[in-house]
Structure 1
Amino acid sequence: MNHQPENQPSQNVLQSQPLRDLKWAISSPSLITQSSEEQHLFEVPDFQTVDVLHLENYLAPYSHFRIGTYFEGLVLYWLEHICRLKIIARHQQIFEANQTIGEIDILFEDEAGVVNHWEIAVKFYLYDPGENHTGSHFVGPNVKDTFEKKMRRLFGFQLPLSQAHFPEVTRRQAFVKGMIFYHPDHPAPTRLPEKLSPTHLRGSWLHLSELSRLTAQHGELRFLIREKPDWLSAALCSKTENRLLGFNELQQQLETHFQHNHRPILISALTCQQSVCREVERTFIVSESWPQI
């Protein structure tokens, strides 16, 4: 019998980004607090038994879209192909007086025959303790979105849509995953916004001029620039991965980027042991003027 060496990932997990992302989508902590009624969980698979080729083929159309669409594809795969639940509707448009007033992400029937309405989202926010034009301290990388704004839309508009238009719906839930990024000089506030879970995943953010703080904290590292939709699971790759960068290469690429663009860049810092490199830190690098961009 062949045994996987201790602390070594299986070939399936190492080679398949979609499989790691599926595990993250299902098993990572919720970004938001949920009542006991909302914590209705379905089957969590043995990920070694997931048909990787089937998963990758299913997700192929989603990989070309924005990260929210890709995340939704992962959740749908879980519900439909692992939990074997009946999907009633996806992206169901709601009309009033011949006008589209909104859209429901997904309606499905669970194993007990209960009709569920889920709104699915994956969000990333940076904690900015200062004053900024958004009126929030939890700001999206592009500064167009805030945590509070997203919660108002989810719970004040999107979830109530099914109450008037789908009376058969018994359970409504926002399925929200993601991360909050904190500057190392600004620890998390003692009082979080309503609905932000205290057990949320955390990363860090730095201005470009502070980049050297990464190596000061962790020592010798390799780096990956994370391109959407590859923002979900922790980076894990072979030591020979050609996208791995040294610190000087990373700094050069970031300096070139910020000469012409204010878009924050998400990076993973990795340590390498034997033939495998694993993420130890997830960091947004922002321009010197962020969040005033």
Structure 2
Amino acid sequence: MAADGPSAGLTPRDAARLEHLRDPAVRDLAWLLFSPDLLRAQPPAGMLAEPFESADEAAATLDWLVAEDARPDALHQHIAAAHVTRLGRYAECLLAWSLQHGPAARLVAANVALRRNGLTLGECDFLVQTQTSRRLHWELAVKCYLHAGESRAQLADYVGPNLQDRFDVKLRRLLDHQLPLSARAEFASLGHPGPWDAQMLIKGWLFYRDGGTPAEPAEIDPNHARGWWTTRADWPAFAAARGAAWAVLPRLQWLSRRRRSGDASAAGLFDIPALSAQLAQHIGPTMVAAFAADDKNGGWRETSRGFVVPDAWPALALAFARE
């Protein structure tokens, strides 16, 4: 899965096995488990979740994913029953399936709400128990942020495409509110006695203007999955250097790199002028991806992804980053 793919430690053969997964949901699950984190650990409160306690667990999970890829119907039914429309909920659905059916950590409870005097104080995403009986509280987030700054190396410069979210605000809420929930006195009354070690599982993509490489803040893992963003005015020339076959990626296709089958028309691919016409109908930022023919495996494979934003967006994003 290339730069958005397996964590360090997998052999080239294992990485190739992940890349050869065909089912989109199974590929997304593999991406969720094996892709690099967006953040480094932020001790003492912001420790990173490790989906596997050992190389053997990682290898067993890979074998399990290959088996899931051959028979994905049960996973598809699990996703359909959840009626997911949000990317975060889709990721939760995938992780829950792994914790319920995979060979590594096991699910104790999910979406555990903490209340006091009838008011909801927060919700713990996952309580899990590892094969060595460690009891962990995992907070999961999948984020796509665009770097809106110029030369500053600050987390505030990473903003959501719709300018309703900012990476520094998200991290602060994780550290100050979400991760401490399982240590609160009220949590002991919910029937999940601890102590629980709170950890964060923060996955996603960071996007840089025209594919540049600005200085990055210390909080960010340098191995994170990365893409680009550009304006609508600049996109046709920018796209011409990256491929001839393009598609809009709906929100639930924002995790792993995509594969498409059939000829270009059946695969939903367009040339640059045709996709430019589509983008002209969009109001806000749109994620798009370039595809190349996969001569080895057939069909098409994604080679590049990014956001095409309205021409006024960069100034608005920079102002939002500086608020």
TM range (shorter): 0.7 to 0.9
Give structure 1 stretches of 5+ with no counterpart: 1-7
Give the equivalent residue in structure 1 for 2:50.
40
> Identity over the aligned pairs, expressed in percent?
28
Query: Residues 42 and 219 of structure 2 are in contact (CA less than 8 Å); yes or no, is this contact kept in structure 1?
Result: no
Match of 1:170 among 196, 199, 205: 196
Tell whether 2:235 aligns with 1:225: no
Once residues 146 and 309 of structure 2 are traced to their aligned partners in structure 1, the CA distance between those partners, rounded to angstroms, is: 10
Match of 1:182 among 191, 194, 208: 208
Give the equivalent residue in structure 2 for 1:13.
21
- Equivalences for 1:91-102 in 2 at 5 Å? 91-102=111-122
Number of residue-to-residue matches in the alignment: 276
Give the equivalent residue in structure 2 for 1:286.
309
Once residues 33 and 64 of structure 1 are traced to their aligned partners in structure 2, the CA distance between those partners, rounded to angstroms, is: 29
Distance 1:39 1:117, change over 3 A: closer
Distance 1:198 1:185, change over 3 A: closer
Tell whether 2:242 aligns with 1:235: no
The alpha-carbon deviation at position 228 of structure 1 amounts to 1.6
Q: Which AA in structure 2 matches 1:196?
A: I
Give the equivalent residue in structure 2 for 1:5.
none
Distance 1:185 1:107, change over 3 A: closer
- Equivalences for 1:28-67 in 2 at 5 Å? 28-34=35-41, 38=48, 40-42=50-52, 43-44=57-58, 45=61, 46=63, 47-50=65-68, 51-62=71-82, 64-67=84-87
SS at match of 1:203: strand
Distance 1:169 1:9, change over 3 A: closer
SS at match of 1:197: coil
Q: TM-score, normalised by structure 2?
A: 0.78
Q: TM-score, normalised by structure 1?
A: 0.85
Q: Which AA in structure 1 matches 2:280?
A: E
Alignment deviations for residues 43-82 of structure 1 (CA, whole Å, 9 cap, x no partner)? 3322322231222122223463200000111111112211
CA-atom RMSD, angstroms? 2.7
Query: Residues 203 and 281 of structure 1 are in contact (CA less than 8 Å); yes or no, is this contact kept in structure 2?
Result: yes
Give the equivalent residue in structure 2 for 1:22.
29
The alpha-carbon deviation at position 215 of structure 1 amounts to 3.5
Distance 1:273 1:49, change over 3 A: closer
Alignment deviations for residues 223-252 of structure 1 (CA, whole Å, 9 cap, x no partner)? 111112111110211242341111111011
SS at match of 2:66: helix
Tell whether 2:216 aligns with 1:206: no
Query: Residues 239 and 272 of structure 1 are in contact (CA less than 8 Å); yes or no, is this contact kept in structure 2?
Result: no
Once residues 35 and 157 of structure 1 are traced to their aligned partners in structure 2, the CA distance between those partners, rounded to angstroms, is: 14
Give the equivalent residue in structure 2 for 1:106.
126
Distance 1:208 1:63, change over 3 A: farther
Give the equivalent residue in structure 1 for 2:289.
268
Tell whether 2:271 aligns with 1:246: yes
Once residues 62 and 25 of structure 1 are traced to their aligned partners in structure 2, the CA distance between those partners, rounded to angstroms, is: 18
